[in-house]
Every structure is written in C-alpha cells, then in structure tokens.
Amino acid sequence: MNDLCKLGINCLENVKDAEEACSAKLCAKRRFSDLTLCWSNTDSRNIDLDENVLDKIQPPKCLRNLSIERYMGASSAIWMNNVNPIFNLEKIKLTYCLKCKTLPPFGQLPFLKSLTLLNTLKVKWLESKFNGNEKSHAFPLLEVLHITKLKALEDWFEAGVAAEDGCDISVLK
C-alpha cells in the first residue's frame, strides 16, 4: 500500500472510532497524490464520529487532489486548517457536506487550481488565513471555481478580508 498513488475510501460511517481511522497512517504514504473520502447517504450518523474520523485521516504532504463527499461534520478537519498538510493541493472538491459551516482558508494554498463546492448548504464564508500564516494574496493560481447550492454563502471571506488579501475573484475565467 505504500506505493499507491490514488485512494478512495467509501462508507466511512462504518469506521468504529477515530483511532481506527488513524491506523491507516495515510500521512506516511510518500507517493500518494489523490484521495477521495466518502460517507454513505444516511441521516442516522454520529456527527461527532464523522468529525473525529476526518481529523485522524491526515493525508501526506504530497497530496495533490482531495475530494470529500457527504461529510456531516459542522467543522473541517484540524489538518485542513494548517497549511503544511495540504500545501501542495491543486484540486479540492467538497460535495454534500451539508452541515459544514465554514471552510478552511483554501485561498492561501499556493498551487490550488480548481475548487469545487457542491451542495455545501451551511457555509457562510471561507476562512481567510491558515493558523499562523500571514500570506497576503488569496487564490494565486485558481483557474476553475465551481459553486453550486451554497445557499448560506454571505461573502468570500469574513467582512473586509478580501480587500486586504488582494483577492480579485473577477479575474477567473
């Protein structure tokens, strides 16, 4: 399994506890470039367990593409709010993350080219800065932005942050 480049993990609601998720040791995989994390479509899930499982599935720093489907936690994983574990991401896709209220500061990822947010109904804005990172220009390489059904979206960032960051979303094609 150390030579895998792509991995999809389905039915994450069947993980018994966060330590079981941690035992996969994904962060030790050196050639890993694509990861898809998927929960089944069911409302009778333990939301705290979803959050704990996602926290413990820390991918390697070489990850380029990340897809998360049907995650029911209200917050993103701890590792997603720190630039180091996801520094090299080029493509992010979040679909049917129905209870998630804020998103990590994806705009600070220096190599991010594609961001897809589908049916992430409760998101109000993206966080503007990673913990401890004062980088000033948001979405420096973004080419593709696909947003569908973000019904609660109020603004890109917290009030006034987009202007400070030099973020010019209007230049996207």
Residue 136 has pLDDT above 60, yes or no: no
Among 55, 19, 61, 16, residue whose Cα is nearest residue 37? 55
Please report the pLDDT score of residue 163 as a whole number: 45
pTM confidence score: 0.85
Higher pLDDT, 137 or 19: 19
Digit-coded pLDDT (tens) for 26-79: 888 888 899 999 999 877 788 899 999 999 998 888 999 999 999 999 988 989
Among 57, 3, 52, 48, residue whose Cα is nearest residue 25? 57
CA atoms of 151 and 119, how far apart (whole Å): 8
Go through 130-155 and write b for each residue having 16 or more CB atoms within 10 A of its CB, e for each that does not. beeeebeebbeebeeeeeeebeebee
Residue 90 has pLDDT above 80, yes or no: yes
Could you tell me which residues are beta bridge partners of residue 34? 6, 65
